[in-house]
Amino acid sequence: MSIDDRLRRAVPDRFESLVSTVRFGQFVSVGAIGAVFDITTLVVLTEVVGLPAAVANVASIETAILVMFAVNESWTFAGQGDSDSRSVGRRLLRSHVVRAGGSTLQYALFVAVFYGVSVELAVAGVDLWLVVVKGGAIAVAMLVNYVFESLFTWRVHEEDAPR
């Protein structure tokens, strides 16, 4: 029995679609794009505009969600569901609801570590501790988001699921 066969038997049917290395690789790639938008927005809003990090973090998370939804919709999960504007709108709404968990986790980790652990890490006047903490929080939330986006937003386990 091959490793693939053993894995398929070990993983319940509902979650079998999650072990797609191609889809996970695409999701991580999209996450990297989202992270760039997230971190860039956070740095600009804190370092240039002067917003408190906790406030800027909310705007940066939303920016990343919108960018990642657009890329996931057209690449990672292309062909999953109808492409009319109503269906896409429902998936965007579901994506926000689903990502609420990952976003809340990311926000809580960011605030707890950024404000709870004092590290002086500035380069060229930019607080890199902000970037380090944000990157770590994004990585943790990405795993949560992958599972829930796959199962609830794009419903990859239901090939012909109506959306």
Looking at residue 74, what is its pLDDT? 84
Domain assignment present for residue 75? The answer is yes
Name the domain count of the chain. Answer: 1
pLDDT digits (tens, 9 = 90+) for 105-124: 999 999 999 999 989 898 88
Q: Give Cβ neighbours of residue 84 (< 8 Å, ≥ 6 apart).
A: none
Q: In degrees rounded to 5, what are phi and psi of residue 59? A: -65, -40
d(CA 48, CA 56): 11
Domain assignment present for residue 50? The answer is yes
Domain assignment present for residue 56? The answer is yes
Domain assignment present for residue 3? The answer is no
Domain assignment present for residue 5? The answer is no
Domain assignment present for residue 15? The answer is no
Domain assignment present for residue 83? The answer is yes
Q: Which residue range(s) make up the domain with 89?
A: 20-153
The residue ranking higher by pLDDT, 144 or 149, is 144
pLDDT digits (tens, 9 = 90+) for 38-69: 999 999 999 999 999 999 999 999 999 999 88
Model pTM score: 0.72
Average predicted confidence (pLDDT) for the chain: 83
Rg (CA), the chain: 18
Domain assignment present for residue 7? The answer is no
User: Rounded mean pLDDT of 93-102?
Assistant: 86
Is the pLDDT at 89 greater than 60? The verdict is yes
User: Is the CB of residue 38 less than 8 Å from the CB of residue 134?
Assistant: yes
Looking at residue 158, what is its pLDDT? 65
The residue ranking higher by pLDDT, 3 or 34, is 34
